[in-house]
Amino acid sequence: MSDLLAHLNPPQLQAVTLPPVHALILAGAGSGKTRVLTTRIAWLISTGQVGPHGVLAVTFTNKAAREMTTRLAAQVPINTRGMWIGTFHGLCNRLLRAHYREAGLPQTFQILDSADQLSAIKRLLKNLNVDDEKYPPRELMSFINSHKEQGIRAAQAEVFDVWTQRRVELYAEYEQQCQREGVVDFAELLLRTYELMNRNEPLRKHYQERFRHILVDEVQDTNRLQFAWLKLMAGGGAHIFAVGDDDQSIYAFRGAEIGNMRDFEAEYAGNNVIRLEQNYRSHGNILNAANALIKNNRGRLGKNLWTDAGEGEPIRLYEAYSDLDEARFIVEEVRELVRDGIPRDQIALLYRSNAQSRVLEHELFSRSVPYRVYGGLRFFERQEIKHALAYLRLIGNPDDDTAFLRVVNFPTRGIGARTLENLQATAHQMNSSLYNAAASLSGKAGATVGAFIRLVEELRQQTQGLPLPEMVEHVIEKSGLTQHYRTEKEGQDRLENLDELINAAATFIDDEGAVGEGGALTSFLTHASLESGEHQAGEGQEAVQLMTVHAAKGLEFDVVFITGLEQGLFPHENAALEGESGLEEERRLMYVAITRARKRLTMTHAQTRMLHGQTRYCVASSFIEELPPEVLLRLNRTVTAAPVQYGTAYARATPAAQEGAGGFRIGQTVQHAKFGVGVIVSAQGRGAEAQVQVNFGGAGMKWLALEYAKLTPV
């Protein structure tokens, strides 16, 4: 027994050996929460307080469940295969499989993943002749799932207006369709299980008497229905051992209720709250920064991380001139770290928004640094980017059948599979492209496909002679892509990626110019194809990890870069719309980002960043100001000059408005003898090495040495 407990520190020991009571374990980042959970189960079983069949352990990921089972098998000599350890969805599926009749389901019921659910909703709307522009499928799916996650069926849904009334009716139709087809979506798994247990008293009592100890991981991420399910399962006298960290609650957009943790403390835990504050992951400076930051949030349950591993390196802070300069700095740092012996897979580049990956990916690819996008697609592989590029390819080459098939019915135009089959057969007979064969179609099919052909022709005419960034922006807007993603609940990321494609076009002109026989468009499409090739590291190859901060939760690395620390980006501008709660969620996200680092943490922000193909002047993130100055090592310092106004979100003094080299400042209009009038967008160096980057409009962006350029203020 002593061996089981020997590796625990005093608070961990206290948590593991608690008597049968409800308890809340506040486990900070890197404090050994998985160790505590598994050792608690092993302790209960090995001391005879409960048998393996009397334990219910709930996690949020299959990975966490597997890790828990593996560790448990190593600690106690039992067969863990039959134990109830799994995710909410996994455990509910197990219950419904065992009691399908009572749940009103066929024995062989199938589970719809998110893509299947979306397809089912699209099919429903089509069968009912519902306008999918007025009732977008993704938005309807979100409406249905959010109601289910609150335990609300269509019959109980509140209606405030005609639009909501129709959505509730569609929700009811969707329920009937799923029941008829014998399928359940993810949200239904939990709701159906909760309803079954709630109304079936013998079944409820059976499981309440069976499970005497309920252990919950990541309790801060539970939604309302999950929390209600846990309370129901514990209604027969079982004891809940809940582990979580309110400072790492970052999934409000998925329905997570941070209030569940406070409610659990008030209703169940009482005085049985144990704080795990000793961190086994990070050095002291990293933890001091995280502690200082999160203290700015109100209503915390409260804890303070510490370590006996020493202070370690200070947190490095780099202020870049632009997002390109930021990427160059990061990649050069990565190359240096690799030369010093740091494994590539121990280096992580974190960003708030998916769109930020493009500039980083480009620089990594250009410098031949193997990388892998964790938990997501590379920039040029993302659905919305491939759609936009397909439209651009059709403008450049209407005979491109692959591009034609990708967007002929996206956004939807009523062109069905049958029409496309006929078109492909006709094209084959005529030995022509689909585009040319379209003229041979008649009736409704000919009209709908003809309308698409006219759209492409209009796009081609309207974009003739336009600079590449404006061409890309025009196509994204007029093709309907912007409007389509604007109606999606989670379309913000896709819109940001489309904006980044415009930036990519602008940057491409700066870097390459309109090269090649086909002009700028052909050259850009070639560039996009090359960058979307197999440049990610292969399976098993050591690679730098790129990911959003959300995707990084639960992971740790020796070296972490947090990029794009600017107001409007991190914290994200959408958070401002949600008031203080939105800002606090962003701060928790920053806390998660900081605590991913073990040994070295570098933060970067840029004075200017491309947005919609235009240069945006940026303000350093307010989170930087909330960090203790003594833990920061500023790698470059600049002097702030007069404030620059840039819309409402950027109305205070900006690092971009600084006295640059030679007395010139960023944002200043200047005259050059050859290039004409331009605006200074970046500056570097001092004295004889002073340089400025100037946007001369039609003449492009130029880096000029002030010693020779002879610029004149206008």
Which amino acids are annotated catalytic?
33-34, 217-218, 248, 596
Cα torsion angle, 58, 61, 66, 71, sign:
negative
Measured CA to CA, the distance from residue 497 to residue 355 in angstroms comes to 5
The residue behind tokens 């092993």 is 42
CA angle, corner 565, sides to 560 and 569, nearest 5? 125
> Shortest CA distance to 267 belongs to which of 299, 227, 303?
227
Instruction: Determine contact, residues 244/272, Cβ cutoff 8 Å.
Output: no
Measured CA to CA, the distance from residue 646 to residue 649 in angstroms comes to 7
Measured CA to CA, the distance from residue 549 to residue 492 in angstroms comes to 16
> Structure tokens of 469?
């960034």
Partners of residue 216 on adjacent β-strands = 58, 242
Determine the 3-state secondary structure of 131 from DSSP: coil
Cβ count within 10 A of residue 397: 16
The residue behind tokens 């009912």 is 128
List, in order, residues 6 or more apart from 509 with CB less than 8 Å away.
467, 468, 469, 520, 700
> Shortest CA distance to 332 belongs to which of 531, 528, 602, 541?
602
**Residue spans of beta strands (DSSP E) within 410-511:** none
Angle between helices 417-430 and 443-463 (to 10 degrees): 80
The residue behind tokens 């639009």 is 163
Instruction: Determine contact, residues 608/506, Cβ cutoff 8 Å.
Output: no
- One-character DSSP codes across 370-391: -EEETTS--GGGSHHHHHHHHH
Partners of residue 658 on adjacent β-strands = 640
CA angle, corner 671, sides to 665 and 673, nearest 5? 135
Q: What is the dihedral of CA 275, 281, 284, 287, to 10 degrees?
A: -60
Length of the chain: 714
Determine the 3-state secondary structure of 567 from DSSP: coil
> Shortest CA distance to 145 belongs to which of 177, 105, 123, 113?
113
Instruction: Determine contact, residues 350/593, Cβ cutoff 8 Å.
Output: yes
Determine the 3-state secondary structure of 258 from DSSP: coil
139, 170, 449, 487, 689 from 132: Cα distances, Å: 10, 12, 19, 10, 59
Instruction: Determine contact, residues 712/670, Cβ cutoff 8 Å.
Output: yes
Three-state helix/strand/coil letters over 569-637? ECCEHHHHHCHHHHHHHHHHHHHHHHCCEEEEEEEEEEEEEEECCEEEECCECHHHHCCCHHHEEECCC
Determine the 3-state secondary structure of 184 from DSSP: strand
